[in-house]
Structure formats: C-alpha cells, structure tokens
Amino acid sequence: MEKAKQDTKRFLAANWRVGLVSTLVIVGVLVAGLLWSSNEERKAILAMPIENVNISSIHDGDYDGEYTFGGFKYQVCVLVKGRKITSIEVTSAPRKVADLTNRVAAEVLAADGNLHIEVGNSAESKAVLLAIHNALVVGVSDCST
C-alpha cells in the first residue's frame, strides 16, 4: 500500500505540467467556441428581418412577448388600447442592457408601433424589438400570468 502511494506521488510530481497544459488547452478551446458561437448568433439576429404589425387589427389588451438571445430571455408586456400601443414595459432583460432595452421600448412607443427603428443598432436592441413583435403577433393576452 505504501509503495502505491509513493508511485502515485512520483507520477503526479512528474506529470503535473502535462495535466495543467491539457486543462488550459481544453479551457481555451471551449472559450474560443463560445465566443465564435456568440458572434454567429449576433450576426444572425442582426440580419433577421422584422415585419411591421398592423396595430389596427389587434384588439385591446395587454400582450406578453419574449425572445431569447445570448442565453437571456427578453420579455415585454405591450398594452394596446384603442387600436394603438399605449405602453411597452420590458419585464425581463439582462441588467447590463436595461437602459438600452427601455430606450428601445420608448422609441417604438413614440413611433406608434413602428418596429423599424434604429436604437443602438445592436443585437440586444433587436432582441427587444423581436420580443415586442412576438407580443403583438403571437402574444398571450394578460401579462400578469
């Protein structure tokens, strides 16, 4: 038993560098893959078209919408009254882009529901626009659930 312990210690002492280098290589490959994947997702969302929605065809109510991007869920609650959007509340988004998401919602509201606005021109702002679009097109009436 003592010999096995000594052999294990000798093996670890002789090969720790190989284990460290292997671990660093694996971590590096994983990080590079995540960065590449994130960049591709960013390009895809920026290229994605958004169709305008005919607000006059939407009945009064509050509508949930969401879009997932970068592992985060962007959620909005859109209130339609008198065939117009009267409020847009961003109910879920990453904290680091909270100001941007609220600005996007305010710009859509100011543009009478036009989803072809330029705010930030980023993937995060596009995610909010897609969440608003989803609320108006497939959203479930009643944001409280």
Residue 53 pLDDT greater than 70, yes or no: yes
**HSE on the CB side for 68, CA within 13 Å?**
1
This prediction has a pTM of: 0.71
User: Is position 25 within any domain?
Assistant: no
Q: Are the beta carbons of 76 and 128 closer than 8 angstroms?
A: yes
From the list 51, 76, 73, the residue with the least C-alpha distance to 63 is 76
Alpha-carbon distance 108 to 102, whole Å?
A: 10
Give how many domains the chain has, as a whole number.
1
Beta strands 72-81 and 84-92 are antiparallel
pLDDT at position 20 is 58
Domain presence at residue 110:
yes
- pLDDT value of residue 73: 92
The 10 Å Cβ neighbour count of residue 110 is: 10
> Which tokens in the block code for residue 36?
């590449």
For residue 32, tell me if it sits in a domain. Answer: no
Mean pLDDT within 2-28: 66
* 34 belongs to a structural domain: no
Q: Is the residue at 112 inside a domain?
A: yes
pLDDT at residue 36, rounded to an integer: 42
pLDDT number for residue 18: 63
Residue 70 located in a structural domain: yes
Range(s) of the domain holding residue 67: 55-138
Q: Is residue 143 part of a domain?
A: no
Average pLDDT over residues 71-91: 91
pLDDT, tens only, 30-39: 454 444 446 8
Q: How confident is the model at residue 29 (pLDDT cuts 50, 70, 90)?
A: low
